[in-house]
């Protein structure tokens, strides 16, 4: 059996203070009070019958409620997260107003073993960060995407 695979788009923009990236804070009760390690590239899982690129664009739309931007896609490669999930990402230079995001939702039993189902946003916040701050907040394995973007931007 193969592990789960996920794909996403990392938006970046150039500012006078250097590049910034758009990250999403993972929604739901597990991450509500966490910052470090709780921010992610907007991404999602896909099945073998879908390409990573198509999944990245679809997931951007599902997670942010906005169409993925056009532009040159810079391949950032893959990383394997602590949970074994392989994440593939591309960077696209684009600007986006976080106030326009309409996040997708997911449902889960909460509190555990309560029998109650609740709906939570996939991403409860979306913000622009400089690369250093993003590196301190992003899921640790995904920090490699920031390093690869920085190499591309030099």
Q: Give tens-digit pLDDT for 92-144.
A: 999 999 999 999 999 999 999 999 999 999 999 999 999 999 999 999 999 99
Burial class from Cβ neighbours inside 10 Å (0-12, 13-18, 19+) for residue 100 reads exposed
pLDDT at residue 34 in the model: 93
Please give the radius of gyration of the chain, using alpha carbons only, rounded to the nearest integer.
Answer: 15
Give pTM, 2 decimals: 0.93
Distance of CA 97 to the CA centre of its chain: 16
pLDDT, position 1 = 37
- Token pair in block for residue 49: 């019958």
Q: What is the pLDDT of residue 152?
A: 87
Contact residues for 70 (Cβ-Cβ < 8 A; gap 6+): none
Torsions phi, psi for 67 (to 5 deg): -65, 145
- For residues 4-18, average pLDDT: 96
Work out the mean pLDDT of the chain and round it to a whole number.
Answer: 94
């Amino acid at each position: 059996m193969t592990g789960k695979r996920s794909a996403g788009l990392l938006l970046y923009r150039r500012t006078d203070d250097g590049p910034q990236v758009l990250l999403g804070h993972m929604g739901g009760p597990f991450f509500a009070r966490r910052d470090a390690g709780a921010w992610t590239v907007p991404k999602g899982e896909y099945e073998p019958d879908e390409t990573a690129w198509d999944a990245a664009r679809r997931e951007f739309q599902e997670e942010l409620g906005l169409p993925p931007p056009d532009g040159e896609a810079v391949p950032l490669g893959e990383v394997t997260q602590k949970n074994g999930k392989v994440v593939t990402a591309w960077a696209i230079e684009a600007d986006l107003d976080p106030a326009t995001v309409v996040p997708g939702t997911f449902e889960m039993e909460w509190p555990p073993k309560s029998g109650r189902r609740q709906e939570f946003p996939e991403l409860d916040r979306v913000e622009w960060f400089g690369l250093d701050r993003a590196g301190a907040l992003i899921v640790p394995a995904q920090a490699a995407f920031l390093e690869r973007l920085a190499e591309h931007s030099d």
